[in-house]
Homo-oligomer: A and B are copies of this chain.
Amino acid sequence: MNVLIVYAHPEPRSLNGSLKSFICDHLNSLGHHVMVSDLYAMRWKASLDQNDFPHLRADERFDPSSASQYAFLNDSQPADIKSEQDKLHQADLVIWQFPMWWFSMPAIMKGWFERVYAYGLGYGVGEHNQQHWGDRYGEGSFAGKRAMIVTTMGGWESHYSERGINGALSDLLFPIEHGMLFYAGFSVLPAVAFYRVGRFDAAQFEHCCQLLTERLNHIEQIEPIDFRQQNGGDYVLPALTLHPRLSAAEKGLKIHRKG
Protein backbone atom coordinates (compact mmCIF):
# COMPACT_ATOMS: atom_id res chain seq x y z
CA MET A 1 0.00 0.00 0.00
CA ASN A 2 1.15 3.59 -0.62
CA VAL A 3 0.95 5.66 2.54
CA LEU A 4 1.33 9.42 2.79
CA ILE A 5 2.06 10.91 6.20
CA VAL A 6 1.37 14.63 6.47
CA TYR A 7 3.14 15.67 9.64
CA ALA A 8 3.41 18.95 11.54
CA HIS A 9 5.68 19.47 14.51
CA PRO A 10 8.55 21.96 14.59
CA GLU A 11 10.89 19.76 16.69
CA PRO A 12 12.18 16.43 15.29
CA ARG A 13 13.20 15.33 18.82
CA SER A 14 9.62 15.78 20.13
CA LEU A 15 7.26 12.96 21.05
CA ASN A 16 5.49 13.63 17.75
CA GLY A 17 8.78 13.32 15.91
CA SER A 18 9.46 9.97 17.56
CA LEU A 19 5.96 8.71 16.86
CA LYS A 20 6.27 9.77 13.22
CA SER A 21 9.53 7.84 12.87
CA PHE A 22 7.98 4.82 14.52
CA ILE A 23 4.98 4.91 12.16
CA CYS A 24 7.26 5.19 9.10
CA ASP A 25 9.51 2.37 10.22
CA HIS A 26 6.64 0.10 11.12
CA LEU A 27 4.79 0.70 7.84
CA ASN A 28 8.03 0.01 5.95
CA SER A 29 8.53 -3.21 7.89
CA LEU A 30 5.05 -4.31 6.80
CA GLY A 31 6.07 -3.80 3.17
CA HIS A 32 4.18 -0.57 2.54
CA HIS A 33 5.64 2.33 0.60
CA VAL A 34 5.79 5.45 2.77
CA MET A 35 5.89 9.09 1.66
CA VAL A 36 6.29 11.83 4.29
CA SER A 37 5.36 15.50 4.04
CA ASP A 38 7.14 16.98 7.05
CA LEU A 39 5.59 20.44 6.81
CA TYR A 40 7.96 22.26 9.17
CA ALA A 41 11.05 20.63 7.64
CA MET A 42 9.73 21.56 4.17
CA ARG A 43 9.15 25.15 5.35
CA TRP A 44 5.64 24.76 4.00
CA LYS A 45 4.02 28.08 3.06
CA ALA A 46 1.09 28.25 5.44
CA SER A 47 -0.99 31.12 4.08
CA LEU A 48 -3.07 30.89 0.92
CA ASP A 49 -2.63 34.19 -0.92
CA GLN A 50 -2.19 35.89 -4.29
CA ASN A 51 1.35 34.52 -4.64
CA ASP A 52 -0.10 31.04 -5.15
CA PHE A 53 -1.67 32.21 -8.41
CA PRO A 54 0.92 33.61 -10.82
CA HIS A 55 -1.75 33.88 -13.54
CA LEU A 56 -3.42 36.79 -11.72
CA ARG A 57 -2.72 40.25 -13.12
CA ALA A 58 -1.11 42.63 -10.64
CA ASP A 59 -4.30 44.64 -10.15
CA GLU A 60 -6.77 41.77 -10.49
CA ARG A 61 -9.35 41.23 -7.77
CA PHE A 62 -8.39 38.00 -5.99
CA ASP A 63 -11.17 35.49 -5.43
CA PRO A 64 -9.59 32.40 -3.82
CA SER A 65 -12.07 29.86 -5.28
CA SER A 66 -12.08 31.06 -8.86
CA ALA A 67 -8.30 31.60 -8.88
CA SER A 68 -7.87 28.07 -7.53
CA GLN A 69 -10.22 26.66 -10.18
CA TYR A 70 -8.33 28.41 -12.97
CA ALA A 71 -4.90 27.33 -11.72
CA PHE A 72 -6.00 23.72 -11.23
CA LEU A 73 -7.59 23.48 -14.69
CA ASN A 74 -4.76 25.25 -16.48
CA ASP A 75 -1.92 23.53 -14.69
CA SER A 76 -0.50 26.79 -13.38
CA GLN A 77 -0.25 25.82 -9.73
CA PRO A 78 3.00 26.32 -7.77
CA ALA A 79 5.30 23.28 -7.61
CA ASP A 80 4.88 22.76 -3.86
CA ILE A 81 1.10 22.44 -4.22
CA LYS A 82 1.32 20.14 -7.26
CA SER A 83 3.79 17.89 -5.49
CA GLU A 84 1.40 17.39 -2.55
CA GLN A 85 -1.49 16.71 -4.91
CA ASP A 86 0.62 14.08 -6.70
CA LYS A 87 1.34 12.37 -3.40
CA LEU A 88 -2.38 12.37 -2.56
CA HIS A 89 -3.15 10.71 -5.90
CA GLN A 90 -0.54 8.03 -5.28
CA ALA A 91 -1.62 7.33 -1.71
CA ASP A 92 -4.02 4.56 -0.68
CA LEU A 93 -3.91 5.77 2.92
CA VAL A 94 -3.16 9.27 4.23
CA ILE A 95 -2.24 9.89 7.87
CA TRP A 96 -2.34 13.43 9.26
CA GLN A 97 -0.22 13.58 12.40
CA PHE A 98 -0.09 16.65 14.62
CA PRO A 99 -0.20 17.90 18.21
CA MET A 100 -3.58 19.42 19.10
CA TRP A 101 -2.98 23.15 19.37
CA TRP A 102 -6.04 25.13 20.44
CA PHE A 103 -8.33 22.19 19.76
CA SER A 104 -7.33 21.83 16.13
CA MET A 105 -4.39 21.20 13.83
CA PRO A 106 -1.41 23.59 13.73
CA ALA A 107 -1.79 26.55 11.35
CA ILE A 108 0.86 25.15 9.02
CA MET A 109 -1.30 22.06 8.42
CA LYS A 110 -4.51 24.07 8.08
CA GLY A 111 -2.71 25.98 5.34
CA TRP A 112 -1.78 22.68 3.70
CA PHE A 113 -5.49 21.95 3.24
CA GLU A 114 -6.28 25.47 2.06
CA ARG A 115 -3.57 25.36 -0.61
CA VAL A 116 -3.53 21.67 -1.67
CA TYR A 117 -7.30 21.15 -1.72
CA ALA A 118 -7.78 23.08 -4.96
CA TYR A 119 -11.16 23.88 -6.48
CA GLY A 120 -11.76 20.87 -8.73
CA LEU A 121 -9.82 18.56 -6.42
CA GLY A 122 -10.79 19.09 -2.77
CA TYR A 123 -14.05 20.88 -3.54
CA GLY A 124 -16.04 21.99 -6.57
CA VAL A 125 -16.06 18.36 -7.77
CA GLY A 126 -18.94 16.78 -9.69
CA GLU A 127 -22.27 18.01 -10.96
CA HIS A 128 -23.60 20.77 -8.74
CA ASN A 129 -27.31 21.50 -8.82
CA GLN A 130 -30.30 21.44 -6.49
CA GLN A 131 -30.68 17.65 -6.93
CA HIS A 132 -26.99 16.76 -6.58
CA TRP A 133 -24.88 19.11 -4.48
CA GLY A 134 -21.53 18.12 -5.93
CA ASP A 135 -19.52 14.95 -5.26
CA ARG A 136 -18.76 15.52 -1.63
CA TYR A 137 -19.32 13.94 1.77
CA GLY A 138 -18.52 10.37 0.84
CA GLU A 139 -17.89 11.04 -2.84
CA GLY A 140 -15.16 13.11 -4.45
CA SER A 141 -11.60 12.99 -5.68
CA PHE A 142 -10.33 10.78 -2.89
CA ALA A 143 -13.09 8.17 -2.83
CA GLY A 144 -11.60 4.74 -2.27
CA LYS A 145 -8.72 6.07 -0.17
CA ARG A 146 -8.43 5.80 3.60
CA ALA A 147 -7.56 8.62 5.98
CA MET A 148 -6.60 8.71 9.65
CA ILE A 149 -5.63 11.30 12.24
CA VAL A 150 -2.90 10.65 14.80
CA THR A 151 -2.79 13.34 17.46
CA THR A 152 -1.37 14.16 20.89
CA MET A 153 -2.78 16.22 23.72
CA GLY A 154 -1.55 17.60 27.02
CA GLY A 155 -4.93 17.16 28.67
CA TRP A 156 -6.42 14.02 30.16
CA GLU A 157 -8.62 11.59 28.27
CA SER A 158 -11.55 12.44 30.56
CA HIS A 159 -11.28 16.12 29.59
CA TYR A 160 -12.05 15.04 26.01
CA SER A 161 -14.75 12.50 26.90
CA GLU A 162 -18.47 12.84 26.08
CA ARG A 163 -18.97 15.06 29.15
CA GLY A 164 -15.42 16.43 29.34
CA ILE A 165 -14.91 20.18 29.55
CA ASN A 166 -12.93 20.45 26.31
CA GLY A 167 -15.70 18.83 24.30
CA ALA A 168 -15.72 15.23 23.08
CA LEU A 169 -12.73 14.53 20.88
CA SER A 170 -14.97 13.25 18.08
CA ASP A 171 -16.86 16.57 18.12
CA LEU A 172 -13.66 18.63 18.12
CA LEU A 173 -12.38 16.59 15.19
CA PHE A 174 -15.68 16.76 13.28
CA PRO A 175 -14.68 19.85 11.23
CA ILE A 176 -11.56 17.93 10.14
CA GLU A 177 -12.71 14.31 9.85
CA HIS A 178 -16.11 15.11 8.38
CA GLY A 179 -15.55 18.58 6.89
CA MET A 180 -12.14 18.04 5.28
CA LEU A 181 -11.56 14.29 4.90
CA PHE A 182 -14.97 12.68 4.39
CA TYR A 183 -15.97 15.78 2.44
CA ALA A 184 -13.34 15.03 -0.21
CA GLY A 185 -14.25 11.36 -0.41
CA PHE A 186 -11.92 9.69 2.09
CA SER A 187 -13.04 6.79 4.25
CA VAL A 188 -12.02 8.09 7.67
CA LEU A 189 -10.67 5.62 10.22
CA PRO A 190 -11.14 6.46 13.92
CA ALA A 191 -8.41 8.81 15.15
CA VAL A 192 -5.53 7.58 17.28
CA ALA A 193 -5.15 9.99 20.21
CA PHE A 194 -2.56 10.12 22.96
CA TYR A 195 -3.31 12.08 26.14
CA ARG A 196 -1.23 13.64 28.96
CA VAL A 197 1.82 13.69 26.78
CA GLY A 198 3.52 16.52 28.70
CA ARG A 199 5.49 14.18 30.95
CA PHE A 200 6.00 11.05 28.94
CA ASP A 201 8.42 8.35 30.04
CA ALA A 202 9.86 5.41 28.10
CA ALA A 203 7.12 3.02 29.26
CA GLN A 204 4.39 5.36 28.05
CA PHE A 205 6.12 5.80 24.70
CA GLU A 206 6.37 2.03 24.42
CA HIS A 207 2.64 1.79 25.11
CA CYS A 208 1.90 4.29 22.30
CA CYS A 209 4.00 2.21 19.92
CA GLN A 210 2.06 -0.90 20.86
CA LEU A 211 -1.24 0.84 20.13
CA LEU A 212 0.07 2.11 16.82
CA THR A 213 1.45 -1.33 15.91
CA GLU A 214 -1.96 -2.90 16.48
CA ARG A 215 -3.67 -0.23 14.43
CA LEU A 216 -1.18 -0.30 11.56
CA ASN A 217 -1.07 -4.11 11.38
CA HIS A 218 -4.80 -4.12 10.65
CA ILE A 219 -5.08 -0.83 8.83
CA GLU A 220 -6.73 -2.38 5.77
CA GLN A 221 -9.43 -4.07 7.86
CA ILE A 222 -10.38 -1.29 10.31
CA GLU A 223 -13.96 -0.08 9.83
CA PRO A 224 -14.21 3.61 8.86
CA ILE A 225 -16.38 6.06 10.78
CA ASP A 226 -19.92 5.60 9.49
CA PHE A 227 -20.58 9.17 8.36
CA ARG A 228 -23.69 9.49 6.22
CA GLN A 229 -23.25 10.06 2.47
CA GLN A 230 -24.69 13.30 1.15
CA ASN A 231 -26.20 11.92 -2.02
CA GLY A 232 -27.57 8.59 -0.80
CA GLY A 233 -30.99 9.80 0.34
CA ASP A 234 -30.15 10.60 3.96
CA TYR A 235 -30.29 14.35 3.35
CA VAL A 236 -33.09 16.44 1.87
CA LEU A 237 -31.84 18.59 -1.00
CA PRO A 238 -31.25 21.46 -1.48
CA ALA A 239 -31.67 22.30 2.23
CA LEU A 240 -29.19 19.51 2.97
CA THR A 241 -30.79 18.78 6.30
CA LEU A 242 -30.91 15.25 7.64
CA HIS A 243 -34.09 13.46 6.58
CA PRO A 244 -36.75 13.71 9.35
CA ARG A 245 -37.00 9.90 9.61
CA LEU A 246 -33.34 9.67 10.68
CA SER A 247 -31.97 10.27 14.19
CA ALA A 248 -35.18 12.14 14.94
CA ALA A 249 -34.65 12.15 18.72
CA GLU A 250 -30.91 12.70 18.69
CA LYS A 251 -28.89 15.88 19.10
CA GLY A 252 -25.38 16.96 18.29
CA LEU A 253 -22.91 16.13 15.55
CA LYS A 254 -23.39 12.37 15.96
CA ILE A 255 -26.61 12.58 13.94
CA HIS A 256 -24.32 12.62 10.89
CA ARG A 257 -23.24 9.05 11.64
CA LYS A 258 -25.35 6.02 10.83
CA GLY A 259 -24.81 4.78 14.40
Contacts and interface: CB of A to CB of B under 8 A. Distances in A.
A38 B61 CA distance: 17
A137 B165 CA distance: 9
Given A103-B175, A103-B180, A251-B254, A164 B241 contact: yes
Interface string A89-133: 000000000000111101110110110010000000000000000
Contacts of A175: 102-104, 167, 172, 175
Interface string A166-200: 11100110110011100000000000000000100
Report how many copies the assembly holds.
2
Contacts of A165: 137, 230, 235, 240-242, 256
Contact of A252 (B104, B171, B230): B171
A254 B256 contact: no
Given A14-B63, A47-B40, A104 B110 contact: yes
Contact of A10 (B50, B103, B235, B239): B50
Interface of A: 10-11, 13-14, 40, 44, 46-50, 61-65, 101-104, 106-108, 110-111, 113-114, 117, 137, 154, 156, 158-159, 161-168, 171-172, 174-175, 178-180, 198, 230, 235, 238-242, 250-256
Given A103-B180, A250-B251, 7 more contacts: A10-B64, A65-B198, A104-B175, A158-B240, A164-B241, A167-B256, A252-B254
7 contacts: A14-B61, A46-B108, A159-B239, A165-B235, A166-B240, A167-B253, A172-B175
